[in-house]
Amino acid sequence: MFENLKPVAIDPILGLMVAFKADNRAEKIDLGVGVYQDDRGRTPVMASVKEAESRLMKLETTKSYQGMAGDPDYNQRMMELLLGKDHSILSTGRVKSIQAPGGSGALRVGAEVIRRARPESKLWVGIPTWPNHIPLLGSAGFDIKQYPYYDMDARQVDTEKMMETLRQVPVGDLVLLHGCCHNPTGADLTNEQWDSIADLALERGFIPFIDTAYQGLGNGLDQDAYGMRMMAERLPEVIIASSCSKNFGLYRERTGSITFIAETSEQADIVVSQAMSTARSIYSMPPAHGALLVSMVLGDPQLRSQWETELEEVRLRIKSMRNLLCDSLENNAAGMDFSHIKRQNGMFSFLGITTPQLERLRTEFGIYIVSSTRINLAGVNSNNIKHLTQSLLTVLE
């Protein structure tokens, strides 16, 4: 039977990661996959996470099954992290969360539950978006519609066109939104834009499906949560897929959550039972390790404050690399405006160069960038900035 299969092209982001590893050049630079790197180009385990890991080694007494919803303590702490400990919805029973295998697993469980609830609902996705959103959510069976999100010329959110399209979204459809640190553009919604989308959701009756994978990497843990907290307050139904890959550095541990806000606590209980049965039908239950670490870090005042300090360092380093790259390019008169890089949030921005220029960067200079020209600013450091700037100027000539 396998003779019927055709080979599939390798994933554009994960494929780049493999190609980078295989490159032997000492001066190579990885601006591809969205993984944090420190100034020495390493992706360390956070000290708070490492400490939790060593405590867990001593405390853990069993590796027995945990259940489809994962760790209840983690689920509670994640809701508090996402929505804020004092959010009024937390005491209503209208919000429920279960652990999921990473942000991708969370998106998939969320999508399956939506499809069970209302199979005719369409999913509206802002363009551009994370390249895996459409394959991942499309494979759950959604009919996917698009709304314009980013103005490539003005290098900012295309508010007018976005709102114009969202005004057409029919009742009961879902609208995918990035919680913060938009991937791939780095152009986030302002608080006012979030408010306007919430107004529209109430008016039209569409439901926000928020993907939040970078809380704490944009403007801070609370600031980055404005949109989802406000929507949780104002709207009857919201779905949030979240990931601890970036803000806890737990990438390979596949630690995420799917959070449902329903109109009543009875409905929330039903939704979560559906989410657990979805999990059972795909992977039974999520992996425990990463979630146990997160729950320990968030639940221990000393580890939590250490983690917040480390996360703040990550956030500030990325911001300073945005400034460094932009200033280095402008000081060298590249002839292009890169000032949007300074204004944007999180790991990514578009460089806005051409495909042949991008190819030359890879083949001649060992600089790896996703084909959309999305760069991971965390891949820039004080050692490679010179090679990066000079190579860019060469291809831009």
User: Which residues sit at the interface with ligand LMR, rule CB under 6 A?
Assistant: 13, 33-34, 130, 132, 183
Compute the distance between CA of residue 115 and CA of residue 106 in angstroms, rounded to an integer: 14
Task: Please state, as a whole number, how many other Cβ atoms lie within 10 Å of the Cβ of residue 264.
Answer: 12
Question: Is the Cβ of residue 183 or residue 215 nearer to ligand LMR in the bound state?
Answer: 183
CB of 347 to ligand LMR, least distance (A): 8
122 is a catalytic site residue: no
Peptide bond into 170 cis (omega under 30): no
Question: Is the Cβ of residue 183 or residue 259 nearer to ligand LMR in the bound state?
Answer: 183
> Any residues with CB less than 8 A from the CB of 148 and at least 6 apart, and which?
126, 127, 158, 161, 162, 165
Q: Which 3 state secondary structure label does DSSP give 95?
A: strand
What letter would DSSP give residue 11?
P
**347 near 4, Cβ under 8 Å?**
no
Q: Where does the chain show beta strands of DSSP type E?
A: 29-30, 95-101, 122-127, 143-148, 150-151, 156-157, 174-178, 207-212, 238-243, 255-261, 348-350, 367-368, 374-376
CB of 134 to ligand LMR, least distance (A): 13
CB of 33 to ligand LMR, least distance (A): 4
Compute the distance between CA of residue 189 and CA of residue 218 in angstroms, rounded to an integer: 12
Radius of gyration in angstroms for the set of CA atoms belonging to the chain, rounded to a whole number: 21
Question: Is the Cβ of residue 69 or residue 378 nearer to ligand LMR in the bound state?
Answer: 378
194 is a catalytic site residue: no
CB of 137 to ligand LMR, least distance (A): 14
For the record, the structure tokens of 397 come out as: 């000539």
CA atoms within 13 A on the CB side of 126: 30
Which of 71, 173, 188, 211 is flagged as catalytic?
211
* Ordered DSSP codes for 261-309: E-SSHHHHHHHHHHHHHHHHHHTSS--SHHHHHHHHHHHSHHHHHHHHH
**148 near 127, Cβ under 8 Å?**
yes
CB of 184 to ligand LMR, least distance (A): 7
Question: Is the Cβ of residue 71 or residue 253 nearer to ligand LMR in the bound state?
Answer: 253
Which of 28, 30, 71, 130 is flagged as catalytic?
130
Which of 71, 124, 224, 246 is flagged as catalytic?
246
Question: Is the Cβ of residue 34 or residue 366 nearer to ligand LMR in the bound state?
Answer: 34
Question: Is the Cβ of residue 97 or residue 183 nearer to ligand LMR in the bound state?
Answer: 183
327 is a catalytic site residue: no
CB of 34 to ligand LMR, least distance (A): 3
Q: Which residue has the tokens 């200033």?
A: 327
CB of 12 to ligand LMR, least distance (A): 9
Question: Is the Cβ of residue 14 or residue 45 nearer to ligand LMR in the bound state?
Answer: 14
Task: Please state, as a whole number, how many other Cβ atoms lie within 10 Å of the Cβ of residue 318.
Answer: 25
Return the residue nearest ligand LMR (CB atom).
34
Q: Which residues are catalytic, by number? A: 130, 211, 246
